[in-house]
Structure 1
Amino acid sequence: MDDARGTHPRRDGIDDAATYAQVQQAVLDLLLDQRPDVVLLDMGAVTFLDAAGIRALLTCRCDAQQLGNRLQIRRAHERVRRVLAICEVEHLFH
């Protein structure tokens, strides 16, 4: 879904290690194919985030920055926001 601000890839969840690489690839493909200014990652369905998930998000953010774009998280579950805050990375996704 596109709008004036960016592109919104919707994920049903990145709450297990098997999906982290898929999320990273989907974000990278979107960045390379559509070149949005902002990628808004909808995390509304994600209720769990571990260290590998945080690493995947940080990798996606790094990929976006290298291409001159931004990655923002939308609709994050309270537990996910708490994990990001504890790891002191929440501010990187606004």
Structure 2
Amino acid sequence: MTAAEESVTAFTWNLDAEHAAKLRTTVIGTLTEHRPASIALDLSGLAFADAAGVRGLHDLHAELAAAGCALTISHAHDRTRRMLSAAGLDMLFAAADTRRRQSEPGS
């Protein structure tokens, strides 16, 4: 991870409307305070995501993009990946997955 990137890894709960709002508050706080070029969300601890949570990620992605900050997602479980892909958010996986593959031995 570079100094220009902030990682938010607070996903040990369900991603529903309530938690999407809390995530937005955290991420926008990071954006306002640190002005990173990108923010990476580690979804390895995400237990469940519903349509409201996915919509919250979609809206957060758009809000960060408008502020000139990229949002990436890493370590999403297959079920979460399928939900995000169905919502058209699979582009959020690309940068994080590429960085991870490049840092793995033998890459």
In the superposition, the TM-score normalised over structure 2's length comes to: 0.76
Q: Contact 1:47–1:79 (CA<8 Å) still a contact in 2?
A: no
**Identity level (%):** 30
Equivalent AA in structure 1 for residue 7 of structure 2: H
Structure 1 CA distance, aligned partners of 2:23 and 2:75? 16
Structure 2 CA distance, aligned partners of 1:16 and 1:44? 16
Q: Contact 2:17–2:56 (CA<8 Å) still a contact in 1?
A: no
SS at match of 1:8: strand
Task: Give the drift of 1:45.
Answer: 0.7
CA separation of 1:61 and 1:41: change in aligned 2, threshold 3 A: same
Where in structure 1 are there 5+ consecutive unaligned residues? none
Task: Give the drift of 1:38.
Answer: 0.7
Residue 97 (structure 2) aligns with? none
Name which one, 1 or 2, has greater alpha-carbon Rg: 2
Residues 17-38 of structure 1: CA distance to partner in whole angstroms, max 9, x if unpaired?
Answer: 3211100111111111110001
Where in structure 2 are there 5+ consecutive unaligned residues? 95-107
Equivalent AA in structure 1 for residue 68 of structure 2: G
In the superposition, the TM-score normalised over structure 1's length comes to: 0.85
Task: Give the drift of 1:14.
Answer: 4.0
Residue 9 (structure 2) aligns with? 10
Q: Which 10-residue stretch deviates more, 59-68 or 4-13?
A: 4-13
| Aligned length, in residue pairs | 93
SS at match of 1:7: strand
Structure with greater strand percent: 2
Residue 78 (structure 2) aligns with? 78
SS at match of 1:53: helix
Q: Contact 1:6–1:40 (CA<8 Å) still a contact in 2?
A: yes
Cα RMSD after superposing both structures? 1.8
Structure 1 CA distance, aligned partners of 2:2 and 2:14? 24
